Amino acid sequence: MVSEVSQQRLRRIEQAITRRPAKLVSLQGEPWRAAVAVIFEQRAEDLHVLFIHRAVNELDPWSGHMGFPGGGKEASDADLHETVVREVREEVGIDLSQSARLIGRLDEIRGVARGRQLDLVISPFVFALEQAVECKINHEVQGVLWVPLSFLEDSENESIVEHRINDLPMRLPAYIYQDRTIWGLTFRMMQSLLEVIGRS
């Protein structure tokens, strides 16, 4: 049963996102383009956000990290919206074109991996589920995690994690929820969302 509180909150989020055009990243040449989905699910007590736990793959610069579902644009994709719908369907078995409503886009972000900027531009799209879904992960994903928006909004839940990049120790901001660490590009995209929608 979805509460009126979560419905009202989702409406306010949609208004905030649609009022503010997404900032685009411009790079010389033809950068690699990718798109990810920030997916809201309305539950009785709160809105929840979907994260994936990426599979371990030595060819993946974000191997084993927590992130949003999504991936790189393919030549057959008409645009980045088509990219994110395809990638989410492949990775977690959710057909956004059937089960969700597109709310809008967040600011694009330049990709970074292992401390190095990439010729990669990531476009985050925000969706709201309109019907119940069941995640069916593929080989690129080892698990999914639904995190309450109220947890992500509370600055008291922001942590610092120790990480080594190119053998240099670094202290980086992160969320830790159910023993999963959300940091790096995904943390930055979540912060971008919170800046747009405001914190409770």
Given a contact cutoff of 8 angstroms between Cβ atoms, the answer to whether 115 and 163 are in contact is: no
- The structural domains of the chain, with segments of one domain joined by +, span 4-197
The CATH number of 4-197 is 3.90.79.10
pLDDT average, residue stretch 161-189? 91
Given a contact cutoff of 8 angstroms between Cβ atoms, the answer to whether 72 and 32 are in contact is: yes
* pLDDT tens, position by position, 52-86: 999 999 888 888 999 999 999 999 999 999 999 99
Task: Label residue 200 by pLDDT band (50, 70, 90).
Answer: very low
Torsion, CA 112, CA 117, CA 120, CA 126, rounded to 10: 40
Task: Label residue 31 by pLDDT band (50, 70, 90).
Answer: confident
155: three-class secondary structure by DSSP: helix
Q: DSSP assignment, residue 69? A: S
Would the pTM of this model clear 0.85, i.e. be above it?
yes
- Model pLDDT, residue 1: 62
Given a contact cutoff of 8 angstroms between Cβ atoms, the answer to whether 171 and 160 are in contact is: yes
What is the DSSP code string of 108-135? PEEEEETTEEEEEEEEEEEEEE-S----
Place of tokens 């980045």: 80
Angle between helices 4-19 and 184-197 (to 10 degrees): 100
Given a contact cutoff of 8 angstroms between Cβ atoms, the answer to whether 125 and 50 are in contact is: no
pLDDT average, residue stretch 173-179? 97
* pLDDT tens, position by position, 108-157: 999 988 778 889 999 999 999 999 999 999 999 999 999 999 999 999 99
